Amino acid sequence: MTVATQPLHQLTVHQARAALRAGEISAVELTQALLDRIRAVDPQIKAYLTVTAEQALEQAALADRRRQEGDDAPLLGIPLAIKDVLATREIETTCGSKILQGFKPPYSATTVARLQAAGMVLLGKTNTDEFAMGSSTENSGYFTTHNPWDLSRVPGGSSGGSAAAVSAGAALAALGTDTGGSVRQPAAHCSVVGIKPSYGRVSRYGLASYGSSLDQVGVLAKDVADAALLLGIIAGRDPLDSTTLDTPVPDYGAALTGNVRGLRVGLPAEYFIDGMQPEVEAAVRAAVAQLEAMGAQIVPIHLPNTDKALPVYYLVATAEASANLSRYDGVRFGYSAGDDSMFENIRRTRGEGFGPEVKRRIMLGAYALSAGYYDAYYLKAQQVRTLIKQDFEQAFQQVDVIACPATPTTAFHIGEKADNPIEMYLSDIFTISVNLSGMCGISLPCGFDDAGLPIGLQLIGPHLGEESILRAAHAYEQSSTWHSRRPTLTGVAD
């Protein structure tokens, strides 16, 4: 379809950019189309916490003037959404928590600033599990986001708002964050592309910290080309974040050759487990077979410490969270209970401001770090984390990428796992090892189950191996049509 024959909200970023450069559409027209789409679908999917309609149209008008003056910034006039754990200057940033309701940061996160410098039009802030702690977006302090493919089901989490918005055409693309799968898992559940970069590839400055050694800002997009484009813009060293790497950012678009001949694809036995939904396994194995038919070499591999990843993750992540969230005390910013006694005010502020999942993780982390338990839990978890990382490093001596499911099942019903935290945590069983090891990963559509729910193929690459996973993902995507399917929402014209 050309721009003239499809609704503007269905465009990819690269299609919209080409149309803007050719003068076929204006940034104001494009932005208005996205705002109209948000008004039409968001009452059903509830992807946005904040819609910045007035500012977006002002930014779009400015983009049109800049283009007339010869400016050709890479995202000039492109409407995008930002997960609400990333600071946006003078725009409410709540992290999905009541404790930050009304908080407007005095600065923007580096990733947001880089998109703005590239010409982005900001549509608004998307819903998230509170402080990115969750796998379903049910833990938001405000409301649950619904999956556009089935409104009775979750979109995944914690970047569920961003994934649902992109899937439903309520944003051309969006930023999310990934601490244990929070970009890749909702991407799989919503049939979009989600990439989690290597640790240190993208700045965390301005991201509300959950697990500082695990967090990474990622991209949710309609196709691999868009993911590569946006990653190239947000990646790179940031002097404001000492964990970013001072290494050149490749031209990720150049990796999208469509050719995987000779690429070695690892197939880990540990990622095809009992209890996995049969349709998920069948779709992923079919995708791997398609890569093989295109010339890739399939190599059986083992990642023997995979079964330890879940407990390791929930010790390391919660320990870091318990320290990071101590700053929300009702004294410096955000909600305050207003008690005259300082200590009682802190107690009440945190008790009233944090939701149950955040409290659970703070308590788990504080326990793991407490005297007498540090060596037995947190230190041991860090030691096993090293073993998990070594598993990947050894595997990548044999292969270029690793292929596996992004999730063990398709999207579950809202409320289905609300009373069983362990079962909820298992939703991320195939994604958390990538964060523990600092590697990169991408999820992309590879099929649907019998209920019409999306299935995601995950491709994992070595540290700073984004070019390899983008190459493989793009080649598979071009050989299939899964990514071109869009959900149908009741009463909403497509």
- Digit-coded pLDDT (tens) for 121-145: 999 999 999 999 999 999 999 999 9
pLDDT of 340 > 80? The answer is no
- This model's pTM is above 0.85: yes
User: What mean pLDDT is predicted for residues 321-350?
Assistant: 89
pLDDT at position 55 over 50: yes
Sorting pLDDT into bands at 50, 70 and 90, what band is 419? confident
Q: Is the pLDDT of residue 262 over 50?
A: yes
Residues 6+ apart with CB under 8 A from 330: 336, 337, 345, 346, 348, 349, 350, 353
Helix, strand, coil shares, percent, the chain, to 5: 45, 15, 40
Alpha-helix residue ranges (DSSP H) falling in 105-204: 110-117, 160-167, 184-190
Indicate if the alpha-carbon torsion angle 368, 369, 373, 377 is positive or negative: positive
Residue 448 predicted with pLDDT over 60 = yes
Rounded average pLDDT over 166-179? 98
| Averaged confidence pLDDT in the chain | 96
pLDDT per position as a tens digit, 11-31? 999 999 999 999 999 999 999
- Residues 208-249: pLDDT tens digits? 999 999 999 999 999 999 999 999 999 999 999 999 999 999
- pLDDT tens per residue across span 56-94: 999 999 999 999 999 999 999 999 999 999 999 999 999
> If pLDDT is split at 50, 70 and 90, which confidence band does 3 have?
low
The whole-number pLDDT of residue 4 equals 56
359-381 mean pLDDT: 94
CB of 94 closer than 8 Å to CB of 131? no
pLDDT at 104 over 60: yes
**DSSP label of 241:** B
Query: Does residue 330 carry a pLDDT above 50?
Result: yes
∠ CA 81-200-225, rounded to 5°: 45
Which residues are catalytic, by number?
Answer: 83, 158, 182
pLDDT-derived band of residue 339, with 50, 70 and 90 as boundaries?
A: confident
Domain spans in the chain, listed from the N-terminal domain onward? 3-304+387-484
Q: What is the pLDDT of residue 1?
A: 46
> At which residue do the structure tokens 């590569």 appear?
228
The dihedral built from the CA positions of residue 325, 331, 337 and 342, taken in this order, carries a sign that is: positive
Whole-number pLDDT of residue 181: 98
pLDDT at 132: 98
Percent over 90 (pLDDT), the chain? 91
Query: Is pLDDT at 182 greater than 90 in this prediction?
Result: yes
Nearest alpha carbon to residue 113 among 241, 178, 205: 205
Res. 50: pLDDT tops 60: yes
What CATH class does 3-304+387-484 carry?
A: alpha beta
